[in-house]
Amino acid sequence: MKCKFDLGWSGKCKSDAIKGKEYCEEHLEVKCKSCGIQATHLCGETGQFVCGAPLCDDCTHNVSPRGDNGGIGFGYPKLPDDWKEHCKKSDQKYAPWYVKPKFLDLWKKENNIPEDVEVILTYRD
Ligand SMILES: [Zn+2]
Ligand SMILES: [Zn+2]
Ligand SMILES: [Zn+2]
């Protein structure tokens, strides 16, 4: 069996999983950067670089109050100190700037965010 770790832009991990486990030696016990359980994939958010943080299925890149991903790389205005780069999907507070009000539900669905989670639109024309 192949390791089921998803490397994001480069696809699934091609190594063999450890016998009886779902992940290869490299990815077994890689912890989610947000909540600390077994990570399943690498964050695919991009700025100047790909974020690449290990995450579980319940966690996601946090959308900043500006509607961007907080800036991956440098030269971005600083965000409040208590702003975290990653959060639980159900703790997502803002929708990205490119999400139009009428597409909010679709965006939630695509990102597996529960429908009853209220997110603030940051859409700019
Ligand atoms: Zn692997
Ligand atoms: Zn997590
Ligand atoms: Zn990320």
Ligand 2 centroid – CA 9 distance (Å): 19
The label of the residue with tokens 């992940």 reads 23
Ligand 1 centroid – CA 14 distance (Å): 7
Q: What is the pTM of this model?
A: 0.87
Which of 8-14's residues contact partners 24+ apart within 8 Å by CB, and which partners? 8/41, 8/42, 8/43, 8/44, 8/50, 8/52, 9/44, 9/50
pLDDT digits (tens, 9 = 90+) for 47-83: 878 899 999 999 999 999 999 998 877 777 788 888 8
Least confident of 11-15, 29-33, 87-91, 110-114: 110-114
- The H-or-E segment that residue 106 falls in is helix 104-110
Residue 26 has pLDDT above 90, yes or no: yes
Contacts of 75 (CB under 8 A, 6+ apart): 48
pLDDT at 28: 97
Ligand 2 centroid – CA 36 distance (Å): 6
- The H-or-E segment that residue 104 falls in is helix 104-110
The closest ligand to the CA of 59 turns out to be 2
Ligand 2 centroid – CA 88 distance (Å): 6
Tell how far CA 109 is from the center of its chain: 14
